[in-house]
Amino acid sequence: MTLPVHGSSLMSRGMLAVIVAQFFSAFGDNALLFATLALLKNQHYPDWSQPVLQMVFVATYILLAPFVGQLADSFAKGRVMMLANGLKLLGALVICFGFDPFVGYGLVGIGAAAYSPAKYGILGEITNGEQLVKANGLMEASTIAAILLGSMAGGVLADWHLLAALFACVVAYGLAVAANLLIPKLQAARPGQSWHPLAMTRSFFQAARLLWRNGETRFSLLGTSLFWGAGVTLRFLLVLWVPVALGITDNKTPTLLNAMVAIGIVIGAAAAAKLVTLKTVGRCMPAGVLIGVAVVIFALQQTQLNAYALLMVIGALGGFFVVPLNALLQERGKQTVGAGNAIAVQNLGENSAMLLMLGLYSLAIRLGAPPVATGVGFGALFALAIAMLWGWQLAQKRRG
């Protein structure tokens, strides 16, 4: 049975199923990252290989970007989410059974690349425009709760028993697949498109050009790309920063520090849902600049209490910054190229930024740059980049 697309209550069956599926899927993603990092450490891989693991994951997003948006828009998005979580489950099993962790993590990346346009695109189909920022807030809150618990589970279980940590990821992905079955089967947004690879690639880059030419969507794409590129780099920086700055060498502490960022993002996302609308998206920009400033201050800390507090502040600023930008892109994208295509274009931008920032970070570590100095430079560059984006946005408004 195919249900009509409609926007109703935020607490509808469809919305609750999406949120639960997203929680378990994101829980698995974050637990698996820290469990696999512990595996690399246990098997004596070099330090610079840790960001390379994430680069393999990110590369799948970039390579599949021309295809996953059309996949999300051509079929019921709940079923696409189920298929994607099945691929994540397969990747976790590959790592759990002792095969190459880079191959297994690459499979998880393929699943994640297919999952993202569907999970965000479906929000515009089960809620209306006025509720979209709130729906994004719920999605981010579910994601951050999963990051919080998944990161902690991955680190704590890896300290206790590595195989138990990997098995917990398998279970989480299995539960995500089960939750996807409860999502009502909505109508496909754009059925009947060509599946020829060249035609799909051409269609994707036409959508990308259309979004980058529009001032509002270009602003959203640049902002979210900078944020997520910085976020994933900070996550890996913490792994090397903790032993140097705090003198702690376990797997648990970096995951707990990541959890503080997660708690902060929940707070920031809630504040954005109350204080920012699609018409007042510019209010989020000062928070973006302050993220970079807070990272600089954080990198210089030497006590756990200050580190935990500052990372919660960084998370809150991040949630307030990125949630309105996501909602803006989904709404404008749905009106022009389709929500699935818009999120796929966003993923290409975000993951290109991640690949670039992780590559530079891995190079800096390989060349012997101290983690503290790397953190200070990273925070300063991020603050400068967001300030420039903010200035450009204000100039665009004056011209308009």
CATH code, domain with 95:
1.20.1250.20
Quote the CA–CA distance of 256 and 251 in Å, as a whole number: 9
Quote the CA–CA distance of 26 and 279 in Å, as a whole number: 30
Query: Averaged over 14-22, what is the pLDDT?
Result: 83
Average per-residue pLDDT for the chain: 81
Residue 382 placed within a domain:
yes
For residue 290, name the pLDDT band (cuts at 50, 70, 90).
very high
Residue 6 placed within a domain:
no
Residue 283 placed within a domain:
yes
Residue 4 placed within a domain:
no
Residue 266 placed within a domain:
yes
Per the structure, the count of domains in the chain is: 1
Residue 350 placed within a domain:
yes
Range with the largest mean pLDDT of 45-59, 87-101, 183-197, 344-358: 87-101
pLDDT for the residue 352: 86
The residue among 251 and 35 whose pLDDT is bigger is: 35
The residue among 229 and 191 whose pLDDT is bigger is: 229
pTM, full prediction: 0.71
Residue 7 placed within a domain:
no
> Above 60 in pLDDT, residue 7?
no
Q: Return the minimum-mean-pLDDT range out of 69-83, 180-194, 205-219, 386-400.
A: 180-194
> Above 50 in pLDDT, residue 4?
no
> Above 70 in pLDDT, residue 181?
yes
For residue 130, name the pLDDT band (cuts at 50, 70, 90).
low
Residue 5 placed within a domain:
no
Which residues span the domain enclosing 347? 13-189+196-399
> Above 50 in pLDDT, residue 1?
no
For residue 187, name the pLDDT band (cuts at 50, 70, 90).
low
